[in-house]
Amino acid sequence: MLWLGPGRAGGRLLLRWARGGSPAAAPRRGAEVLVGGEGGGIAEILMNRPHARNSLGKVFVNELFSALEQLRFDEKVRVVVFKSEVKGVFCAGADLKERAKMDDAEVGHFVKRLRNLMDEIASSAKMGLIETTRGLLPGAGGTQRLPRCVGVGLAKELIFTGRQIDGQEAFSMGLVNHAVPQNEEGDAAYQRALTLAKEILPQAPIAVKMGKLAINRGIEVDIASGMAIEGMCYAQNIPTRDRQEGMAAFKEKRPPRFIGK
């Protein structure tokens, strides 16, 4: 899922267009989120809030929303990769210093925005839901997403203890798909993400979109309802030119040339 758009003169998010019609980051003083990439269907959302270790503050979250909105409907973009521009950290979680200055109503509104943001959207890494060690509970969707990934029992253990785990532990419990040893450049996870993005890129766009929709919606309901959702998604894919191209390519023993129609 990706999107692009022209730069917004009135905001802190600024985009420019690179050759080939793909977005490239245009450095702007004070910007916390940039959109870049080498083109070819892959865009990158670059997180750049070094003074707060990419923690989720108001401006940072607003700029992430803006980046997603500007990429959402761009047909040239097939895959989005989130990348930290801050060495040694991906995202430190909520900005608790900023949160402490909010009143109760502001906290509720902000956490709701975080939950919505997570709905829209990583071996040396450490990760965890540490909210209970700060007198909180996960409020941006962690109590609902984590049990669906690792099961209720393990989710309770991780949330109740506030324990942090490393990439290999996360991989062994099914929380992440891949765990890679760090390289000398410090971007092993990013390189693995790019490799995966390039595997997705040549596949039929509408089929991938419908498969994603069927999985995301089907996991929320019982199996019979999930089958019905799959059937509706499959029906939308049947009349596409890409399906016809895939069948023809198989018959002719050649690689398919999908066009997203």
d(CA 237, CA 90): 36
Backbone angles phi, psi at 159, to 5 degrees: -75, -45
Task: Determine the residue type at 222.
Answer: D
> Dihedral through CA 212, CA 218, CA 219, CA 224, nearest 10?
-150
Residue 12, pLDDT > 60, answer no
Task: Give pTM, 2 decimals.
Answer: 0.64
Chain CA centroid to CA 55, Å: 16
Proportion of the chain above pLDDT 70, given as a percent: 85
H helices present in the chain, as ranges: 58-72, 96-99, 104-120, 142-150, 152-161, 167-172, 188-200, 205-218, 223-237, 241-252
Q: What is the CA radius of gyration of the chain?
A: 20
pLDDT tens sequence across 62-111: 898 888 888 887 888 888 888 888 888 888 887 888 888 988 888 888 88
pLDDT tens sequence across 147-157: 888 899 999 99
Backbone angles phi, psi at 139, to 5 degrees: -120, 0
Within 10 A of 195 (CB to CB), how many other CB atoms are there? Answer: 11
d(CA 110, CA 52): 17
Higher pLDDT, 232 or 71: 232
Q: Which of 96, 98, 91, 119 lies closest to 1 in space, CA to CA?
A: 119
User: Is residue 220 within 8 Å of residue 212, measured between CB atoms?
Assistant: no
pLDDT at 134: 84
Task: State both tokens at 189.
Answer: 């996870």
pLDDT tens sequence across 128-175: 887 888 888 888 888 888 888 889 999 999 898 988 888 788 888 888
pLDDT at 92: 81
pLDDT tens sequence across 20-72: 444 444 445 567 888 887 778 888 989 999 988 888 888 888 898 888 888 88
pLDDT band at 6 (very low <50, low <70, confident <90, very high): very low
β-partners of residue 127 are 165
